[in-house]
Structure 1
Amino acid sequence: MTPPRSPAPDPGSGATYVFAVCRDCRAVNTADLSGLPGMPGGGQVRLVPSGALTAVVQTVPAADFTDEVWQTRLADRQEIERYARAHHEVVSAAAAHGPAVPLPLATLYHDDARVRGVLDDEAARFHSALRRVAHHAEWGVKVYRAAAAPQPQPAPATPRSGPPAPGAGLAYLNRRRGAHDRRERSREEALGVAESVDAELRGLAAASRRLRTHGAALAGDRRVHVLNATYLVAADRTDELRRAVVALRERTDAQIELSGPWVPYSFVGEA
């Protein structure tokens, strides 16, 4: 869920960085949060309450979050990962005490007063999202099939001299067509497995999302990625989910990776 953003703060001042929104002050143990470093260069992680909602925030140098600086940071993989890990660490600590709505990386406001205004203005949406994710976690599932070993391209059987043997061209075309048909059958079978895995896991989940599969294999990984999905699963169905994944691996002989539990980043925006 992305609340309306304030105009960019004065780069020479401090700004209020918001990590997450919880139900109330009792939902978060301040002592558990104040020891977290949060964003590089920021102050102590703290709470900003308004009504029944509480924002988990930190004062940061506004100059570190101007559009120009942030675009430069986005181009540096190690740097952006450092900020993303810091953000996630605070969000996870807040979510450990109860339902929390994680806000996107680099959500900034002029000051605490503006944060309170957002909590008041968007209270209905925040409460809806909190009800949705309460006692639930996000789980990721990836399904792969092994890539076929590259086959040598069939070549037409042509004698060194004289005319081609009768039927040589047709045999060559048939070999090419057969190789293509085998690849298509393998692809359709893999996609069928992905659909069956997704259908079964959706039956266990309160909500699900299909994500883009990896376009290119990682170095040294010849697997083909056929399903990338995430599921919002109730805490009391976690064991059932794990058993289902084990059973699906055995039944389909597919390579299925389960990751989690995660703070439900993918589902708070659907409220």
Structure 2
Amino acid sequence: MTTSPTSPAPHATAPRRGSATCVFAVCPRASADALADALASVPGHVTASGPVRALAAGPLTAVVQDVPAEAFTPEALRERLADRDALERYARAHDEVVAATAATAPAIPLPLATLYLEDARARDALTADAQRFLTVLDRVTGRDEWGVKLTLTAPAPAPASPPEPAPAAQAASGRAYLDRLRGRQHARDDRRQAAYDAARHVRERLRPLAAASRDLRLQDTDAHPQVANTAYLVDRSGAGAFAAAVAALRSAPETAGRVRVELTGPWAPYSFTGEDHDENPG
């Protein structure tokens, strides 16, 4: 299961006293020396009680930080994560550490608030799951996550309403009104179908340029509904070709006027730490 970086870790151990070990990411063991230098200037968690540091865990290196245990009891954690501003601060601090880690070494981001009572507990848990971590590290090494979002374009402005008909013409006007309603519904249906066809074209064009892809939850708004929100795992050597393909899709006949194409990234591979994704042909 892949967990959002803004979701508490399902496997976190709730701390009770003293300091707890917060784990941000997992890297290969050989990355420890480089990580020590890269993380020296990263502040890390907003409630941290120590510096961000590398922790050896069998064949792995974990990026960790000491945090006050009393701030992460189940009750305190629920209260803090229910506060949107606090959640945003924690998520941003977490992502800054993950980004600094991923810029230095192959890295698997862990969910927000992955906590253990002490270093030894963290080391034991990560070592016990080492084979899965090594498999994921092999998948993401040399690759970044890119996001492609497709948003339905705005419809053409509706024509101005005609003047109110005279009473003798109301029956015919009523039929015309129903016809207009049906016509507008058909137009909406056609517009959305065209957007889905455009989304299929985008996927067919981009999937061969990525090692893997994953459809994410749509982020609809009333004004700009999304028709696709897809993460792609892309070789760094192919990032330029991927970005160029996205740029070309913005003006392609299959997409122009149907969907707005937005590219985001590169990101640490948050969406590819589990198994719920599609392996793509290269």
Aligned to 2:123: 116
Q: Choose 1 or 2 for highest CA Rg.
A: 1
1:37 partnered with 2:38: no
Secondary structure of 1:266's counterpart equals helix
Aligned to 2:280: none
Aligned to 1:8: 14
Q: 1:135-190 CA deviation, whole Å, 9 max, x = no partner?
A: 01000011123222563797897523xx5467444333222211211111111111
1:223 partnered with 2:230: no
Amino acid at match of 1:31: D
Q: Please point out which of 174, 179, 183 is paired with 2:179.
A: 174
Deviates more, 1:55-64 or 1:206-215: 206-215
Amino acid at match of 2:91: A
Aligned to 1:235: 236
Q: 1:220-248 CA deviation, whole Å, 9 max, x = no partner?
A: xx433222111001111111101111111
1:70 partnered with 2:71: no
Secondary structure of 2:39's counterpart equals helix
Aligned to 1:140: 147
Aligned to 1:267: 272
Secondary structure of 1:270's counterpart equals coil
Counterpart CA distance in 2 for 1:228 and 1:61 is 37
Identical-residue share of aligned pairs (%): 47
Secondary structure of 2:11's counterpart equals coil
Aligned 8 A contact 2:22 2:67 in 1: yes
Secondary structure of 1:171's counterpart equals helix
1:203 partnered with 2:183: no
Aligned to 2:93: 86
Deviation at 1:4, TM superposition (A): 7.3
Aligned 8 A contact 1:139 1:260 in 2: yes
When residues 24 and 247 of structure 1 are mapped into structure 2, their CA distance, relative to the original with a 3 A threshold, is same
Instruction: Extract unaligned runs of 5+ from structure 2.
Output: 4-8, 277-282
1:126 partnered with 2:133: yes
Deviates more, 1:65-74 or 1:22-31: 22-31
1:51 partnered with 2:66: no
Aligned 8 A contact 2:147 2:264 in 1: yes
Aligned to 2:102: 95
When residues 117 and 182 of structure 1 are mapped into structure 2, their CA distance, relative to the original with a 3 A threshold, is same
Report the TM-score, using the length of structure 1 for normalisation.
0.89
Deviation at 1:269, TM superposition (A): 1.5
Aligned to 2:218: 213
Alignment RMSD (CA, Å)? 2.3
Counterpart CA distance in 2 for 1:125 and 1:105 is 19
Deviation at 1:33, TM superposition (A): 0.9
Q: 1:96-127 CA deviation, whole Å, 9 max, x = no partner?
A: 12211111000000111111111221010010
Q: 1:74-96 CA deviation, whole Å, 9 max, x = no partner?
A: 22222111111111111111111
Amino acid at match of 2:122: V
Counterpart CA distance in 2 for 1:48 and 1:183 is 55
